[in-house]
């Protein structure tokens, strides 16, 4: 009996096995391809650089927009939603208007933007995908929770203040050698400053109450530290009321010639030198002057002594050191006895020296019927002030008037050529005060106005005229 040979693997079975293997492999490949396609679709839905569809902020749809575009769209929507003027800052004729949008506090928006962007950006892909799909169908809004904030006005008010604020200007004196006067007086100027906190308080209350409208800009005045009056050592005036036109002209002309004079430390002032010779060529006109025989006659420059007297009294009260001064032959009506100062070209002058360490400045001006001499410079310490006054210590009666014949007069006519005047003994004083309290008193000088004997001129007697005619 022959042994049987091992059986051969059936071909059909082999083919079947191969088909099964190939089918399984194909199915696996198919499943793999399908899964990858699904993953890609999910990734395409969730891995985007835009906000997911269905996302809105404050009711404004931003789905499909990049962060930059989304912010622009939300800002545009907010501007439209909160359009219209809310607060108008008002100052004089100026207006600065801010809408309700301008007053929004947008600082909270950063958190809202971050939350809206972070939605479904992390986690398992499938979970994220399902979330994105649900968001697309149902949508989700992120409320902004905006509030009005008056503090946003602070920067605006700071900018307004830059336009409105004006620093105070102190009064000062500046040298100006090339000008008509040797110095310029710069008067003080009040400043102003925007009260930001005060305005904020008003605006904040209005915003909190949503009571829109105009809000006055709070502006506080800033006074200067130094005003012109602080630089005025003295302002002395005398009256020219009742003067003839020519005399008033001469007084003003003389004072005008010393306007703008600068007297440095230790320098000497001469009235005659500063005013110049009283001539018609220099602009002076004829007006009454005191003649050598004490008669009032017309002379060029009459009235100049009132200018010198006003200057002298200002110098006294400014603490100047008087070097030369002369009183008149008799008291004058525009100043009290003992405080006058006469001048005459070449013989009598008013001179004084500036004893200070700083310059003084002479300014003259005319106001109504008064002529003024103002001396400016550093003020006396402790509200110091110099006052001058005089008292009559004796009176001397004049002698009987002299009578002189004057053939130039009509027969029997009499003229008082020189008026009889009493004589006076006068003592003038200077007092120094600080804060209204007397510190020192000194005698300035003692004047003696000699009595003046009058002169009466008589025309020829009628009998003499008849006798002369008979011859």
Q: For residue 112, which of 141, 137, 139, 85 has the smallest C-alpha distance? A: 141
390 & 459 share domain: yes
pLDDT of residue 465: 45
208 & 167 share domain: yes
pLDDT at 177 over 80: no
One DSSP character per residue, 372-404 reads EEEEESSPPGGGEEEEEEEEEEEEEPPPPPEEE
253 & 347 share domain: yes
Residues whose CB is less than 8 angstroms from the CB of residue 357 and which lie 6 or more positions away in sequence, other chains included: 265
Residue 336, in any domain of the structure: yes
Residue 19, in any domain of the structure: no
Can you tell me the distance from the alpha carbon of 97 to that of 94, in angstroms, rounded to the nearest whole number?
Answer: 10
pLDDT of residue 338: 97
pLDDT of residue 441: 96
Residue 433, in any domain of the structure: yes
Residue 444, in any domain of the structure: yes
77 & 184 share domain: no
Residue 194, in any domain of the structure: yes
* Pairwise pLDDT comparison (299 vs 140), residue with the higher score: 140
* Pairwise pLDDT comparison (446 vs 20), residue with the higher score: 446
User: For the chain, what percent of residues have pLDDT higher than 90?
Assistant: 65
Total structural domains within the chain:
4
pLDDT of residue 35: 75
User: For the chain, what percent of residues have pLDDT higher than 70?
Assistant: 89
Task: For residues 53-68, give the mean pLDDT.
Answer: 94
pLDDT of residue 183: 83
14-23, 141-150, 366-375: segment of lowest average pLDDT: 14-23
145-154, 300-309, 405-414, 425-434: segment of lowest average pLDDT: 405-414
80 & 129 share domain: yes
What is the extent of the structural domain holding 140? 55-85+101-147
pLDDT of residue 457: 83
pLDDT of residue 182: 75
pLDDT of residue 214: 94
One DSSP character per residue, 50-74 reads SPPTTEEETTEE-TT--HHHHHHHH
391 & 374 share domain: no
Q: How confident is the model at residue 471 (pLDDT cuts 50, 70, 90)?
A: very low
pLDDT of residue 403: 84
Can you tell me the distance from the alpha carbon of 306 to that of 303, in angstroms, rounded to the nearest whole number?
Answer: 6
Q: How confident is the model at residue 469 (pLDDT cuts 50, 70, 90)?
A: very low
Q: pLDDT, tens digit, for every residue of 256-274?
A: 999 999 999 999 999 999 9
248 & 368 share domain: yes
336 & 240 share domain: yes
420 & 371 share domain: no
Q: For residue 175, which of 358, 400, 370 has the smallest C-alpha distance? A: 358
Q: pLDDT, tens digit, for every residue of 81-106?
A: 988 888 999 999 999 999 998 888 88
Task: For residues 322-345, give the mean pLDDT.
Answer: 95
pLDDT of residue 33: 64
138 & 212 share domain: no
* Pairwise pLDDT comparison (103 vs 326), residue with the higher score: 326
Task: For residues 397-409, give the mean pLDDT.
Answer: 82
Residue 450, in any domain of the structure: yes
239 & 212 share domain: no
Dihedral (Cα; 158, 159, 164, 166), 10-degree rounding: 70
Residues whose CB is less than 8 angstroms from the CB of residue 36 and which lie 6 or more positions away in sequence, other chains included: none
Q: pLDDT, tens digit, for every residue of 233-245?
A: 999 999 999 999 9
Total-model pTM: 0.67
pLDDT at 2 over 80: no
Most confidently predicted of 34-43, 179-188, 276-285: 276-285
**Mean pLDDT, all residues of the chain:** 88
Q: For residue 211, which of 78, 85, 92, 91 has the smallest C-alpha distance? A: 85
pLDDT at 211 over 50: yes
pLDDT of residue 179: 65
Can you tell me the distance from the alpha carbon of 120 to that of 130, in angstroms, rounded to the nearest whole number?
Answer: 9
Question: Which of 222, 243, 276 is a domain's end point?
Answer: 222
- β-partners of residue 414 are 458
| DSSP label of 356 | S
pLDDT at 164 over 60: yes
pLDDT of residue 151: 82
pLDDT at 470 over 60: no
Can you tell me the distance from the alpha carbon of 307 to that of 289, in angstroms, rounded to the nearest whole number?
Answer: 14
Question: Which of 342, 363, 379 is a domain's end point?
Answer: 379
pLDDT of residue 22: 60
Give the H/E segment covering residue 298: strand 296-300
Q: How confident is the model at residue 113 (pLDDT cuts 50, 70, 90)?
A: very high
Question: Which of 185, 206, 222 is a domain's end point?
Answer: 222
pLDDT of residue 468: 43
Residue 238, in any domain of the structure: yes
pLDDT at 467 over 50: no
pLDDT of residue 460: 83
pLDDT at 67 over 50: yes
203 & 74 share domain: no
Residue 44, in any domain of the structure: no
Whichever domain contains 397, its CATH number is: 2.20.230
């Amino acid at each position: 009996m022959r042994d049987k040979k091992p059986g051969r693997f059936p071909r059909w079975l082999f083919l079947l096995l191969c088909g099964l293997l190939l089918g399984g492999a194909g199915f696996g490949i198919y499943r793999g391809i399908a899964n990858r396609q699904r993953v890609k679709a999910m990734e395409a839905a969730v891995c985007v650089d835009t906000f997911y569809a269905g996302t809105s902020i404050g009711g404004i749809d931003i789905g499909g927009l990049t962060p930059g575009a989304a912010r622009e769209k939300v800002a545009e929507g907010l501007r439209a939603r909160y359009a219209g003027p809310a607060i108008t800052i008002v100052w004089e004729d100026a207006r600065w208007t801010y809408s309700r949008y301008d007053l929004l506090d947008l600082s909270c928006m950063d958190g809202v933007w971050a939350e809206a962007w972070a939605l479904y950006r992390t986690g398992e892909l499938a979970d994220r995908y399902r979330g994105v799909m649900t968001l697309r169908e149902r949508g989700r809004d992120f409320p902004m929770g905006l509030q009005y904030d008056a503090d946003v006005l602070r920067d605006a008010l700071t900018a307004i203040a830059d336009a409105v604020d004006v620093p105070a200007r102190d009064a000062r004196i500046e040298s100006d050698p090339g000008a008509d006067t040797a110095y310029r007086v710069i008067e003080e100027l009040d400043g102003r400053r925007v009260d930001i906190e005060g305005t904020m308080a008003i605006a904040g209350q209005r915003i909190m109450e949503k009571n829109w409208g105009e809000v006055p800009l709070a502006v506080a005045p800033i006074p200067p530290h130094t005003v012109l009056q602080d630089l005025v050592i003295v302002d002395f005036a005398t009256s020219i009321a009742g003067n003839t036109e020519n005399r008033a002209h001469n007084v003003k002309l003389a004072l005008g010639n010393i306007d703008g004079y600068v007297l440095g430390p230790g320098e000497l002032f001469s009235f005659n030198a500063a005013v110049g010779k009283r001539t018609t060529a220099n602009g002076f006109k004829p007006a009454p002057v005191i003649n050598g025989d004490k008669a009032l006659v017309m002379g060029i420059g009459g009235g100049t002594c009132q200018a010198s007297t006003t200057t002298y009294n200002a110098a006294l009260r400014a603490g100047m050191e008087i070097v030369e001064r002369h009183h008149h032959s008799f008291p004058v009506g525009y100043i009290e006895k003992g405080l006058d100062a006469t001048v005459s070209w070449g013989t009598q002058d008013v001179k004084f020296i500036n004893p200070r360490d700083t310059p003084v400045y002479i300014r003259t001006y005319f106001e109504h019927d008064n002529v003024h001499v103002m001396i400016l410079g550093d003020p006396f310490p402790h509200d110091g002030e110099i006052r001058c006054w005089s008292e009559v210590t004796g009176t001397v009666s004049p002698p009987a008037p002299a009578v002189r014949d004057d053939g130039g007069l009509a027969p029997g006519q009499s003229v008082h050529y020189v008026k009889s005047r009493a004589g006076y003994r006068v003592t003038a004083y200077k007092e120094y005060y600080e804060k209204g309290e007397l510190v020192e008193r000194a005698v300035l000088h003692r004047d003696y106005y000699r009595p003046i004997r009058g002169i009466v001129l008589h025309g020829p007697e009628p009998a003499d005229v008849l006798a002369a005619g008979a011859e």
